[in-house]
Structure 1
Amino acid sequence: MQVIWLIIIGAAAGFIATRLMKIEADLITTIAIGVLGALVGGLVLRILLAVTGWAAGFIGAILGAMLLIWLWQTYGPKR
Structure 2
Amino acid sequence: MPIIALVIIGAAAGFLATRLMRVQTDIPTTIFIGIAGALIGGLVLRFLLLLTGWAAGVVGAVLGAMLLIFLWRQFMSGR
Structure 2 length normalisation: TM-score?
0.57
TM-aligned CA deviation for residue 42 of structure 1: 1.7
Structure 1: which 5+ residue stretches go unaligned? 51-79
TM-score w.r.t. the length of structure 1 is 0.57
Superposition RMSD on alpha carbons, in Å?
Answer: 1.3
Higher relative contact order (CA 8 A, sep 6+): 1
- Per-residue deviation at 1:43? 2.1
| Deviation string, structure 1 residues 24-75 (Cα, Å, up to 9, x no partner) | 001000001001111111221233246xxxxxxxxxxxxxxxxxxxxxxxxx
Residue matched to 1:16: 16
* Counterpart Cα distance in 2 of 1:47 and 1:6: 21
How do 1:1-79 and structure 2 match up within 5 A? 1-49=1-49
Aligned length: 50
Identity, in percent, stands at 66
2:21 partner amino acid: M
**Bigger-Rg structure (1/2):** 2
Tell me how far apart the structure 1 counterparts of residues 9 and 46 of structure 2 sit (CA, whole Å): 16
Name the amino acid aligned to 1:20.
Answer: L
